[in-house]
A = this chain, B = another copy of it.
């Protein structure tokens, strides 16, 4: 059982009181994200995955046949930064890259059996990670948080539902 030290708090000796410390909202996003990211990295390490390789693998497993550009769009990252991720997953035999016969520039990304199995196992660990990070929020609070984050990301467009 790996030692997962969630929420590594910095030493409070001589710290500035929260009343005196006033930062802009984005900094609180950064601080929270750093904590989540650190815990997620520890969570994925036993599987040989990082946040981005895990994210890419799950999207490929859920959407077999998609292109790299679509994957980059889904993960909100630039296409050049996708290449190393795909290379790594492919080198480890977790995905296949089939040439799209209709458009020979593009690849159709497919999960391998090993990729699907690793993804399943990692998913269970990530579920526990999410329980650690967000478990104290009830369903309404958690939904409100995700909705607020989505509105920040999209500039509040897209709530037409």
Contacts and interface: CB of A to CB of B under 8 A. Distances in A.
* Size class of the contact patch on chain A: 35 or more
Identical chains bound together, number: 2
B36 A133 contact: no
Contacts of A108: none
Contact of A10 (B20, B73, B130, B141): B73
Contact of A23 (B28, B58, B132): B58
A41 to B, nearest CB: 10
13 contacts: A9-B154, A14-B70, A21-B62, A23-B55, A24-B129, A26-B129, A27-B55, A29-B33, A30-B37, A35-B153, A36-B152, A136-B151, A141-B148
